[in-house]
Structure 1
Amino acid sequence: MFKILLIEDDHSLFSEVKERLSQWSYDVHGIHNFGEVMNEYTETKPDLVIIDIQLPKFDGFHWCRLIREHSSVPIIFLSSRDHPTDMVMSMNLGADDFVQKPFHFEVLIAKIQAVLRRAYNYNNDHNELKSWLGATIDLERNRVSNDKGSIELTKNEMFILKVLIDRKSKIVTRDELMNRLWDDQRFVSDNTLTVNVNRLRKRLTEIGLENSIQTKVGQGYMAIEKESL
């Protein structure tokens, strides 16, 4: 049974979502003190966090940023705010998906299932360590390390990197990446993929792997095979 921490201050919505998710055998926990979210997160040890943007004391962006400093746990934002910058901000902070209120419960379930599959199933690959451009890719720990340092990636970032290095020197189309990530493109915006790839590139630059993922205009992305940076 997956444990979900639902950070939502609308009591009626929280109760409804908890009841519906419980019917799918998810163990749903809420927040008692919205000024102590990190303490309750640490005590709960969830497999997935669903968080609203507008919350008492501090907004969801604040708590997402703090969670990402300590963990790569999957995060889904749930919000009535519909400005594109909210989605971009959530992805830049390391969120895995964004659901806009009001929503069809079937859509929320589909996104939860897709995020959990990405987070906890793909790492069952028999080869949990990969080598690329002198770096070690640790699929189990979502970590990339080389002689210049080590970075920890989000589940989405690692999944994208894994798909690209499995096909290194070959173009992977945006459509294929979106299908592999979210199973159904109807549940994701094209901009979300762009944000995730850009964030992955920025993290790789921190350990000297700038330009290691190339954009092929009108086609997709490609991980280079030889160290020619």
Structure 2
Amino acid sequence: MSKVFLVEDDPTIRENIRTALNKWQYEVIIVQDWNQVVSEIMAAQVDLVLMDITLPIFDGFHWTEELRKQSQVPIIFISSADMNPNAVRAIATGADDYVTKPFVLDVLISKVQAILRRVNQYNPTDNSVLDFDGSTLSTLTNELNYGDATVKLTPTEGYILQLLILNLNQIVSKTKIMRMLWQGGAFIDEDVLNTNISRLRSKMKTVDLPDRIITERGQGYRLVENDL
């Protein structure tokens, strides 16, 4: 049974989400101490986090930044705030997806299922390590290694990089990426993908792999080697 940590302070919304997830056989854990959100998530060893923005003491952006210092567990933001620019900020902070209130519970369940399936069940290759331009990407840990440097990618970032490596020097359309990542591309804003790409580029730069992801305007993205 997959475990979901629900960071939501509205009791009605919290119970509605918990009931819906329980019907799909997900174990739901809720916050006990609003000063110790990250510690509770880490102790629970959960498979996914649902994070509200407006919370007691610190907001969801703060807790996501703190959690990302210790873990790459998938995070879906749930908030009544406008989709933009909060969605972009959420993804840039470290979230994997975003849904706005009021939302249809089936949409939230679909997003949860899509991320957990990607993390736990599906890899586009049977190889546990992919090589690219002198670097290696572990499809099991989502660690990108180049020389002596290592950077940890989120599951979404790791999956995007896998797709690009497997289609090296070829254009991969935004539609294909969104279809592979998020339930056929449904319920997803293109800004979420764009921000994940931006975050992936920044992480690749930290391990001396800058400018490898090329934007092909109107078409998609292409991963290139250093000498191309």
Same fold? TM cut 0.5? yes
Secondary structure of 1:106 counterpart: helix
**Residue in 1 aligned with 2:227?**
228
**Residue in 1 aligned with 2:27?**
27
Secondary structure of 1:70 counterpart: coil
- Larger CA deviation: 96-105 vs 10-19: 10-19
**Residue in 2 aligned with 1:193?**
193
CA contact 1:148–1:208 (8 Å) conserved in 2: no
CA contact 2:110–2:183 (8 Å) conserved in 1: no
**Structure 1, gaps ≥5 residues long:** none
CA distance in 2 between counterparts of 1:29 and 1:116 reads 16
- 1:81 is displaced (CA, Å) by 0.7
TM (normalized to structure 1)?
0.96
Structure 1's consecutive aligned runs of 4 or more residues displaced over 3 angstroms after TM superposition are none
- State whether structure 2 residue 189 is matched by structure 1 residue 181: no
CA distance in 2 between counterparts of 1:206 and 1:56 reads 34
**Residue in 2 aligned with 1:45?**
45
**Matches for 1:1-229 after TM superposition, within 5 Å:** 1-123=1-123, 125-224=125-224, 226-228=225-227
**Structure 2, gaps ≥5 residues long:** none
Identity %: 37
CA distance in 1 between counterparts of 2:208 and 2:38 reads 32
- 1:124 is displaced (CA, Å) by 8.0
Deviations 1:58-94 (A, max 9, x none): 0011111111111110000010111512101110011
- 1:148 is displaced (CA, Å) by 4.5
Number of corresponding residues: 228
- 1:136 is displaced (CA, Å) by 1.0
Secondary structure of 1:141 counterpart: coil
CA distance in 1 between counterparts of 2:99 and 2:183 reads 16
- 1:183 is displaced (CA, Å) by 2.2
- Larger CA deviation: 120-129 vs 25-34: 120-129
Amino acid at match of 1:198: S
